[in-house]
Structure 1
């Protein structure tokens, strides 16, 4: 079973993937992060003298696709997570279930500022890039939730996965 977990930067996708994985038997789950498939910095498009990590051309989707596919042959559950994860159509078609983690603009900026020092225009760019490239796929997701609040959606996601595995 292959689950896609997509959503805005700093929304909790990676944390969710690892929390879900911890629920299952050790060695039965593979977690793959799209961040690990970025091209070398010199190959990534630039915007206003900064590396544009939010651009689709920054990611080696073909290599990620192959690793997700190969992992599905070895593991009972593959959790693939990332900012632009639903943009690549062949990858999107691999997913048995799709989860989308949304976040408010205010919470996104608060979380980014906790970890990074970035100009406001770059925060605006990240927000706009998500909505340009990824946001349109939210309607295709089996589970969409807002991570701005305190509701823990991991148990709901685990329930969805277990139900699907039993079918």
Structure 2
């Protein structure tokens, strides 16, 4: 059975970077990373805010599919990492995590990084504010086992405590 890690935090906080560092540092263990961005419902099925798809609410994610993928991959891999802005917004998924990591950044850092984001074009200012507020409502996790700062670049030393916890767990 795989060791399952949940990594959450606001957009641009370093979730994917931490997941990649963990994968690299855990070699030769078999690691599967589940990026929740790949499990967003079709745009027509997502709630809207001001006519804009509302990617920031739990109703935008296909948690059933994520749980099914998790069921399959926890039998194949040593470690499964689930990362996304809404990683902690589903009680069933939270029950599956052996370890939770919350990435924290300041509002100012979030705004600076999001304003540089080009993948989806320029977001309106109201939406950038909304994403932060939605994170405070749906993305926080007061019970996180590890809280990492995403304010500065993540390096392998930041993930050592996580790796030690994984390796100390009997398989």
Specify if TM > 0.5: yes
Q: Is the 8 A contact 2:100 2:144 kept in 1?
A: yes
In structure 2, the residue matched to 1:145 is 148
In structure 2, the residue matched to 1:94 is 96
Structure 1 spans left out of the alignment, 5+ residues: none
CA RMSD of aligned residues (A): 1.7
Q: Is the 8 A contact 1:69 1:94 kept in 2?
A: no
Give CA-to-partner distance per residue, 1:17-58, whole Å, 9 cap, x none: 011001123571100011110011121111112111102111
Larger % of helix: which? Answer: 1
**C-alpha separation in 1, matches of 2:132 and 2:60:** 16
| TM-score (norm. length: structure 1) | 0.91
Q: Is the 8 A contact 1:29 1:76 kept in 2?
A: yes
Aligned residue among 1, 4, 11 for 1:9: 11
Please say if 1:83 is aligned against 2:88.
no
* Superposed displacement of residue 103, structure 1: 0.7
For residues 11-160 of structure 1, what are the structure 2 equivalents within 5 Å? Answer: 11-26=13-28, 28-116=30-118, 117-135=122-140, 137=141, 139-150=142-153, 152=155, 153-160=158-165
**C-alpha separation in 2, matches of 1:108 and 1:7:** 11
**What is the aligned length?**
164
Structure 2 spans left out of the alignment, 5+ residues: none
Give CA-to-partner distance per residue, 1:111-134, whole Å, 9 cap, x none: 111114111110111001011112
SS in 2 for 1:14: helix
SS in 1 for 2:12: coil
**C-alpha separation in 2, matches of 1:73 and 1:61:** 19
**C-alpha separation in 1, matches of 2:28 and 2:39:** 24
| TM-score (norm. length: structure 2) | 0.89
